[in-house]
Amino acid sequence: MKEERVKLILESLSENYISSNVLASQIGVSSKTIRNEIKEINSILKHHGAIIQTKPKKGIALNIIDKIKYTKFTDSLSTKQPQDIPATFEQRVQYLIEYLLNAQQWTKIEYLADKLFVSRSILSQTLKEVRKRLKVYNIELVSKPGYGLKAIGSEFDFRVCMTNIIVDNVDNQTLPDNKCENDKREIFKKISQILNKNFEFFEYHMSDVSFHNLIIHIYVALCRIEEGQETYLSNEQMNQVHEWKEYKMAHSIVEDLSEEFNVDFPDDEIGYIAIHLAAKRIVSIDETENGNVIINGEVYEIVSHMLRAVYDSYHIDLMDDLELRMMLALHLVPFGVRMAYDLVLHNPLLVDIKTKYTMAYNLAVVASEELRKHYNKEIKEDEIGYFALHFNLALERKNRKQDKKNILIVCGTGRGTAQLLMYQFKDNFGKYLNQIYTSDALGIKNVDFTDIDYVITTVPIAYSVPVPILEIKSFVEDRDVKTIKRFLSQGHSRTMEKYFRKDLFLTNVEFETKEEVLQYMVKKIESVYDIPSDFYDAIFHRERQAGTEFGNLVAIPHPYKAMTKETFVCICILNKPIIWDKKKVQLIYLMSMEDNSNRNLMTFYKITSKLLVNPKYVNELIQNKRFEVLLSLFGEIESTLE
């Protein structure tokens, strides 16, 4: 066994037990291989002050008997670091992608297996994942008998793929601190200075994330040009790019880069940088006022289709929100460039957006279906996340309007006093109120309470009314103001309980796949609620649109549209986590929204997100598996909102 593998296994172990399956997954080999290698390592370790203990149902742990002896042994192992020779599955995938993108000749499979110190079967499994990831960038991994493997695709796509690899490594802080990487950081710094200078001169704006991404795109371009790998644009593309104002700025940036790095940039490379500038820019309302940005009829029509799709699926009417229309239209200007050139705007906030703004993200998924149809391309989750931010602001605006209450003032001394009270309420509580109606005590039996939230009365009411009643004196005194404000601003208290049932809080469940879990949950729901026959299919339609696993061992599956008479949630807590799509999931929070355009579920979604993004709450639910714990957690969250 190679010393690097021995060292990696020992570094992965501790005095705490770990299952062989988990260890195998970390190392990137099978459980059987791990068990065999543990036996082999143990035969060596017994002479060096340690032993690897194996216990059924507990796993594997390292027991160091003589620390001095053991340390001397581990110090004698190869000084090579794990990153020098990829040891885990993910490290091998990353290594092969980078190697194949940079390799200009065919590469034999035997050579790669020897280079990675793995068997042909493990290499085959790794290459399967490599093919899958390269395909996202329109790059094909071609296998040719007698020659080996070669990555085939356009230089433009190669660079996008390379850039994203570097972005991911920098985001995960996996760049090693050596001379090569220090040199790279120095180049990044110089590119940054050139961009800042030109952005200021041309009054151009992009987000910090996009700026960081552009630096890496230019770095990759510099490296590829020096290697003789230039990108080419068609005549049609170049003619289009020449018309953009970004082309002039790209030309200025290239002049500075050429001088700084002594690299000649062909005209197509200037176009390449112009495309990235156009794809990453932030278009503001101010620019439209200056006449710099044209929102054509096609873009505006796309926005209408997006908002119509939202209404058709969720019955949330945002058609009249002019601010949302404008922000979506402005966002679509650079988005259209990204679609044309298969670029993606990296979104570091994606996980937070999906969990904290769940409702807005769901609307963005539906709206993005219209974009998929228009561009005939899949819309990446990063992009959907940016659209979700616009929808969240729109929902907040809509919610602020809906949160204002309609009240009925009832006064026993006549309508004149009721009118006086109405003016007092407008003066003291205007920000809480939408419509104020008045009535005398006798007339209340004829009132339609459909749009009334509360009754404020100076006399006892003999009739049964379907809304809360607050009794006050004939005139509002200072000491009453606080009480009334608290009454009018109420709304969270015990909001969540009506959406949950104990018989849909499912525990001690053993399944291996998400399909099995969802089938089980839907069957349980059918025994409680009247759901459509295509409810299960609607859930999987949404699963295909975008992932519903959010990290923190949580998945939030739901139908792709509102389709039930009531809003409800079914919770399933598995005995052990399963892989949902890519991440481990143990708590499944299946939601269904009622098919009702008058509902307001913003508070429901806020409380849901606060529950599911908090590891402490999720862990408490998984460990205790009791419905009462769920309600207690909701109560704790609601108290912070009030």
Lowest mean pLDDT among 205-209, 318-322, 414-418: 414-418
Residue range 43-67: average pLDDT?
A: 86
Could you tell me which residue, 126 or 412, shows the higher pLDDT? 126
Residue range 495-499: average pLDDT?
A: 80
What is the model's pLDDT at position 361? Answer: 92
Asked whether the predicted pLDDT for residue 544 surpasses 60, the reply is: yes
* Closest by Cα among 413, 427, 349, 425 to 387: 349
What is the model's pLDDT at position 288? Answer: 46
Specify the DSSP element, H or E, that contains 130.
helix 120-135
Asked whether the predicted pLDDT for residue 169 surpasses 90, the reply is: no
pLDDT tens for each residue of 325-359: 988 988 998 999 999 888 888 888 888 888 888 88
Tell me if the pTM is above 0.85.
no
Could you tell me which residue, 181 or 30, shows the higher pLDDT? 30
Q: How far apart are CA 480 and CA 462, in angstroms?
A: 24
Asked whether the predicted pLDDT for residue 560 surpasses 80, the reply is: yes
DSSP 503-569: GGEEEEE--SSHHHHHHHHHHHHHTTS---TTHHHHHHHHHHHS--B-STTEE----SS--BSS-EE
Q: How far apart are CA 355 and CA 364, in angstroms?
A: 13
Residue range 159-187: average pLDDT?
A: 69
Instruction: Count CB neighbours of 576 within 10 A.
Output: 10
What is the model's pLDDT at position 80? Answer: 45
Lowest mean pLDDT among 124-128, 523-527, 637-641: 637-641
Asked whether the predicted pLDDT for residue 426 surpasses 80, the reply is: no
* Closest by Cα among 552, 558, 617 to 590: 558
pLDDT tens for each residue of 189-239: 999 999 999 999 998 888 888 898 899 999 999 989 988 888 888 899 899
Q: How far apart are CA 589 and CA 170, in angstroms?
A: 33
The proportion of the chain whose per-residue pLDDT surpasses 70, expressed as a percent, equals 87
Could you tell me which residue, 411 or 150, shows the higher pLDDT? 150
- As beta bridge partners, residue 64 has 50
Residue 177 pLDDT class (50, 70, 90 cuts) = very low
**Whole-number average pLDDT of the chain:** 84
Phi and psi at 228, nearest 5°, equal: 85, 15
Asked whether the predicted pLDDT for residue 383 surpasses 90, the reply is: yes
Residue 493 pLDDT class (50, 70, 90 cuts) = very low
What is the model's pLDDT at position 2? Answer: 60
Q: How far apart are CA 12 and CA 37, in angstroms?
A: 14
What is the model's pLDDT at position 42? Answer: 86
Asked whether the predicted pLDDT for residue 82 surpasses 70, the reply is: no
Could you tell me which residue, 208 or 82, shows the higher pLDDT? 208
What is the model's pLDDT at position 122? Answer: 85
Asked whether the predicted pLDDT for residue 581 surpasses 50, the reply is: yes
